[in-house]
Amino acid sequence: MTTVGITTLAPLPLRGTAEHIADRLITAIALGEFVPGQRLPPERELAQMLAVGRASVREALHRLAGAGYVEIIRGRNGGAYVRRSWAPGSAATVRRTLVPNWSQFEQLLDLRTLVEGLIARTAADRYTDEDVRPIRDALIAYQRAQDREESRAADQALHSAIAGATRNPFLANLSGEIRSQVSLGFQAEPYSAQLRETALEQHAQLVDAVLERRSGEAEQIAAGHFGLTERALRELMERARAEEPSS
The 10s digit of each residue's pLDDT in 153-167 is 999 999 999 999 999
- Where helices occur in 70-214 by DSSP H, the ranges are 90-98, 102-126, 129-144, 148-164, 169-182, 193-211
Q: What is the pLDDT of residue 111?
A: 95
Helices 193-211 and 129-144, axial angle in degrees (round to 10)? 160
Q: What is the pLDDT of residue 247?
A: 55
Cα–Cα distances (Å) from 67 to 20, 53, 74, 132, 190, in that order, read 15, 22, 18, 46, 22
Q: What is the pLDDT of residue 16?
A: 62
Which residues have CB under 8 Å from 127's CB, separation 6+?
Answer: 135, 165, 210, 211
Dist. CA 96–CA 23, nearest whole Å: 8
Dist. CA 139–CA 193, nearest whole Å: 17
Q: Which residues pair with 83 in a beta bridge?
A: none
Could you tell me what percentage of the chain is helix, strand and coil, using 3-state DSSP and rounding each to the nearest 5?
70, 5, 30
* Extents of the domains making up the chain: 17-90, 97-242
Fold of 97-242: Four Helix Bundle (Hemerythrin (Met), subunit A) (1.20.120)
Q: What is the pLDDT of residue 9?
A: 45
Helices 215-242 and 102-126, axial angle in degrees (round to 10)? 160
CA dihedral angle for residue 184, residue 185, residue 187, residue 189, rounded to 10 degrees: 0
What mean pLDDT do residues 191-201 have?
95
Dist. CA 240–CA 21, nearest whole Å: 19
Residue 185 has pLDDT above 80, yes or no: yes
Return the CATH class of domain 17-90.
mainly alpha
Residue 33 has pLDDT above 90, yes or no: yes
The string of pLDDT tens digits covering residues 73-87 is: 998 888 999 999 999
Pick from 25, 97, 17: which is nearest to 56 by CA?
A: 17
Q: What is the pLDDT of residue 75?
A: 83
What mean pLDDT do residues 11-28 have?
80
Dist. CA 206–CA 222, nearest whole Å: 7
Cα–Cα distances (Å) from 10 to 39, 44, 138, 151, 155, in that order, read 27, 21, 33, 29, 27
End-to-end CA distance of the chain: 51
